[in-house]
Each structure stands twice: as C-alpha cells, then as structure tokens.
C-alpha cells in the first residue's frame, strides 16, 4: 500500500491517490443523493450510505439538507447551507480566525460546512418537521459515528492518522475551493422571515457559479460537479451527462483565476459580503 510506504515518493503518491479518492466519494454522494447515479432508487440509497461514510457525511442528513438547498437557492437565509453566511456582526476573535485560515489555506469552511450542516443534530431538527424522520436522521448520525469509532479501534488512531492525514487535508482544501465557488459572494435575497416563494430551478443560474476546468478533471475526477449552474437548472440530469448540454452559463469562470482572486480578499469579506458590495467581479 503506497500510503504505508516507507519511502517519501511512495507515501506522497499514496496520499495524492487517496485525496482523489476522498474527492470522488464526495461527488458520488452528491449523485446518489439526487438518485441520478443509478436508475434503481435502492442502489442510489445504498451507494449514498457507503459514499457518505467514505466522505464524512451521514447520508440521510445530507439528502435532507441538499434537497432544501436546491429548493431555496436564491434565498440566503432559507438555504441551510448558506444561512450561516448571512451578513452579521463578527467578533474580533472570529474575524482573526476566519481571515487567518482563509489566507493560510486552512480548510476551516470545509469542516464547518460538514459538521454544522450534517452532523449538528440540534440544528438539523429545525429543518425536520416530521418526528419519524428526525429519528431516522439521528439514528443515521449515531450509526455513522459508531462505525467510525469501530474503524478507529480496529486500525488504531495513530495508524489511521498517519496513513491519511495529508490526503484528507488535500481533499478538504480542494472541496473548499469547489464548495465556496458555487454560491459564495454572489448576491442573493434574504427573506427576513417573510413568506417567499422558491426560485424555479431554471432561474437559479444567476445565484450560482461554475468553474471552467480541464476536461480530464471536470469529467473524470469530478463528474462535472464543477458545472454547478447547469446542475441547478437541470437538476434531474446526472452530473456525468451535463457536459452534453451545449450552453454557456452566465457565471462561469476559470477555476485558477477564481481561486487566486478570491484568496486575495479577506476571508470575512469574501464569505459575508457579495461582489456587488465589494465591487470585485468574482
């Protein structure tokens, strides 16, 4: 096993391959959650639980929150994945932490995104009107936690960390780039508690962003997960088929240009404001 290699080259090669694998498990989770990975619904659910475990997400809470994300895209405070980024007063300690992590490429957002949106059961309860589904989500979280504890016990914490720490870090950094590219810093509405209507899927293009990437990375590593505008507009089309839609979207940007320009901003400015306010066409 390369990740267990005593040589530096072998170990680094193993870490890079594992990082690509963690990233692909996350993409498979996304497809399975939409029931677009297989024609059979049960196979999607089975793969969803497996890919969720491999990528660090309980599948049931992922499916719930991601469904709500698509329903309320365009309304920042109603979309569970963006509600925490609604502009608000930021304490000095929080500002220093966010800006430091952003400038130093510490994937703080990727971790907060995971735990706050999919593992934080007290917060999840707010989005779970049915008590029966609350129990299922809680059991899924507990079962996933137990499975990780069994893995740690079987392999050993120090061994597991030694085998995977760099690959997990690389994967989280890449996931953070992709996740933040999709909706952050794009102007969106805030309901302020008023009764509003969801934005139709075909009209969600202006609230999301796509990254233009090399074809090998887009199609074979990410299964077109970078084509996020098309995904929102045509949500029933499998991600791996989105490249067949010959349509240039309004917010598509080169991945490297977007990554470098966004990192030039302070993290708090990027996360809690938008391009109209900052005058930066990101």
Confirm whether 116 is domain-assigned.
yes
Confirm whether 142 is domain-assigned.
yes
Confirm whether 277 is domain-assigned.
no
Q: What's the domain count of the chain?
A: 1
Strand residues in 158-270 grouped as ranges (E): 210-212, 252-254
pLDDT digits (tens, 9 = 90+) for 92-150: 999 999 999 999 999 999 999 999 999 999 999 988 877 888 999 999 999 999 999 99
Mean pLDDT of the chain: 94
Average pLDDT over residues 205-216: 96
Provide the pLDDT for residue 281: 66
Nearest CA-CA partner of 243 in 263, 220, 270: 220
165 vs 7, 41, 52, 155, CA distance in Å?
A: 17, 34, 18, 14
Provide the pLDDT for residue 194: 94
Provide the pLDDT for residue 209: 97
> How many whole angstroms separate alpha carbon 30 and alpha carbon 184?
19
Confirm whether 280 is domain-assigned.
no
pLDDT digits (tens, 9 = 90+) for 255-271: 999 999 999 999 999 99
Confirm whether 282 is domain-assigned.
no
Confirm whether 278 is domain-assigned.
no
* pLDDT above 80 (res 282): no
Residue with tokens 């993409």: 27
Confirm whether 201 is domain-assigned.
yes
Neighbours of 20 (CB within 10 A): 16
Show the domain range for 116.
Answer: 2-272
């Amino acid at each position: 096993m390369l990740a267990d290699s005593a040589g530096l080259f072998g170990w680094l090669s193993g870490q890079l391959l594992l990082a690509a694998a963690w990233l692909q498990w996350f993409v498979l989770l996304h497809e399975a959650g939409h029931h677009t990975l297989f024609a059979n619904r049960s196979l999607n659910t089975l793969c969803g639980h497996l890919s969720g475990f491999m990528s660090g997400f309980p599948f049931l809470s992922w499916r719930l929150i991601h469904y709500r994300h698509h329903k309320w895209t365009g309304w920042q405070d109603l979309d569970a994945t963006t509600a925490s980024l609604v502009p608000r007063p930021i304490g000095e300690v929080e500002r220093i932490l966010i800006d430091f992590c952003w400038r130093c490429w510490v994937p703080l957002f990727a971790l907060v995104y995971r735990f706050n949106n999919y593992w934080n059961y007290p917060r999840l309860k707010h989005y779970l009107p049915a008590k029966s589904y609350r129990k299922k989500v809680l059991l899924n979280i507990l079962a996933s936690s137990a499975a990780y504890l069994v893995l740690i016990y079987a392999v050993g914490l120090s061994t597991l960390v030694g085998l995977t720490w760099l690959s997990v870090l690389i994967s989280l950094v890449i996931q953070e780039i992709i996740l933040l590219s999709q909706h952050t810093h794009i102007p969106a509405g805030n309901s302020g508690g008023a009764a509003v209507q969801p934005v139709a899927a075909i009209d969600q293009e202006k609230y999301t962003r796509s990254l233009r990437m090399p074809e090998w990375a887009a199609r074979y590593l990410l299964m077109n997960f970078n084509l996020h505008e098309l995904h929102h507009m045509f949500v029933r089309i499998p991600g791996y088929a989105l490249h067949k839609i010959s349509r240039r979207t309004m917010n598509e940007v080169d991945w490297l240009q977007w990554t470098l320009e966004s990192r030039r901003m302070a993290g708090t400015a990027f996360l809690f404001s938008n391009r109209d306010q900052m005058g930066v066409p990101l």
